[in-house]
Amino acid sequence: MTNDYERTVGLDFIRATEGGAISCFTWVGRGEKELADAAASDAIRGTFDRMNISGEVVIGEGIKDNAPGLFKGEKVGTWAEGSPRFDIALDPIDGTTNLSKGLPNAICCIAASLCAEGEESGLLDIPSFYMDKLSYGEIIRDAFVADPSLPLSLDSEPAETIKLAAKLLSKDVTDVVVTAMDRPRNANIIETVRSLGANLRLVSDGDITAALAPALPQSGIDLYMGIGGSPEGVLSAVGMRCLGGGLQAKMWPRDEEEKTSLITEGWGDQLDRIYLSKDLARGEDLLFIMTGILESPFIQGITIHGRTATTHSVLMRVRNRTVRFVTGHHNLDYKEIPLRSQNQSLQ
C-alpha cells in the first residue's frame, strides 16, 4: 500500500491554522494589521518547522509586497529525507482589515497540494491581482455541468444568472441571497441584485468565506459574485472542489498597465478564459484547511472563556470530499504554540 500522506498530515495542518488564528487573536480590534499578520505567520512557520514535509509556498505574499506573511518560494517543513513534497497556498489572515477593526469575518487558511518533484502543481498561481468570481452550491453546479450553455457563467448578464439561480433553487428571485465584496468595482452586481429585489449581503473584506458560503446550505447564501483577490480565488477553488459546489473565475486586470504586463508575461491568451475550480485547483491530491478567527456565515470565530480558547476549523480533501469540522478547546495555561521567532533551532 502506498503512503497516503494527505490522510496523516491533516491534523498537523489544522494545528498550523489553529496556531495562526489563536496567535493573532490578541490583535483583534487594535488597528494593527501588520502585527496581526506577523503573529499568525510566526505561528504557521513555527508549526511547519515541526512538520515532516518538504513544503514550498507557491501562493503567498510576493516578496515585493513587504508584508509580514509567508512568501512565494519560501520553503516550509523539515525537508527531512523522504518527507512528502507539498506545494502550499496560504493566507495567514484573510480579512486582516476586519480583524484590525474587530469586524466579523476573518480566517486563517491553507491549501496544500501533494506533488512529486517535477510534477505540475495542483495550485495555479494566477498572476493578476484580482479575479472576477462567481460561486454557487451543488444544485446549481449540477445543472451547469449537465448543460454548460446555461446563462450561469461570468460571461452571462448577472441578472440572468440570479434569475436562473432562483429557478434552479425553486425560489422566488426576491428570496435569492447574493454576497459580494463592498467595493466600487462591484457596483454593477450590487445594483443588479437591488433592482431585482433579491437579497444582498455585502462583506467588507475576506472573500474566501464569502465564496465558499453558497456550498453550505446552512449559510443562507445562494451566490457569491464579484471581483476579489486572485490568491483568495485559488484557495476558494480548492475548498469548493471539496464541498461539491462550483466556482468560476476570470482574471480582472486593474488597468491598462496591468493588462499590458500580463500580456508581456505570456498570459494574453488567458485573459478571457473562465477558469473553473478544477482549473485553479488541479487534480485530486489537494487539502484545504481553515480556522475561523472572527465569525462568518461559513465558520465560527474564536471564543475565550476563562483560560480556554475554543477554535472551529475545517479540514477537507478533494480526493474523497470528506468535510471535517473540528472544534478545539485549548487550555491556554498548557498550550504551547510553536513560534518560529522563538525557536530558531527548529528551522
User: Which stretches of the chain bind ligand VTB, using CB under 6 A?
Assistant: 94-96, 183, 205-208, 228-229, 232
Question: Which residue from 294, 343, 291, 288 is spatially nearest to 320, judged by alpha carbons?
Answer: 288
CA dihedral of 298, 91, 282, 4, whole degrees rounded to 10: -90
CB of 343 to ligand VTB, least distance (A): 28
Which residue's CB is nearer to ligand VTB, number 103 or number 323? 103
Q: What single letter denotes the amino acid at residue 172?
A: D
CB of 166 to ligand VTB, least distance (A): 26
Q: How big is the chain, counted in residues?
A: 347
CB of 169 to ligand VTB, least distance (A): 25
**How remote is the C-alpha of 281 from its chain's centroid?**
11
The residue whose grid cell reads 475554543 is 310
Which residue's CB is nearer to ligand VTB, number 25 or number 144? 25
Which residue's CB is nearer to ligand VTB, number 77 or number 245? 245
Spell out a b/e string for 28-67, using b for 16 or more CB atoms within 10 Å of the CB, else e: beeebbeebbbbbbbbbbbbbbebebbbbbbbbbeeeeeb
CA torsion sign, 290 to 199 to 153 to 95? negative
Question: Which residue from 210, 31, 234, 220 is spatially nearest to 105, judged by alpha carbons?
Answer: 210
Which residue's CB is nearer to ligand VTB, number 51 or number 249? 249
CB of 161 to ligand VTB, least distance (A): 20
Which residue's CB is nearer to ligand VTB, number 60 or number 229? 229
Q: Rounded to an integer, what distance in angstroms lies between the CA atom of residue 301 and that of residue 42?
A: 20
CB of 130 to ligand VTB, least distance (A): 7
Which residue's CB is nearer to ligand VTB, number 185 or number 335? 185
CB of 97 to ligand VTB, least distance (A): 6
Is the distance from CB of 17 to CB of 112 less than 8 angstroms?
no
Which residue's CB is nearer to ligand VTB, number 49 or number 205? 205
CB of 238 to ligand VTB, least distance (A): 15
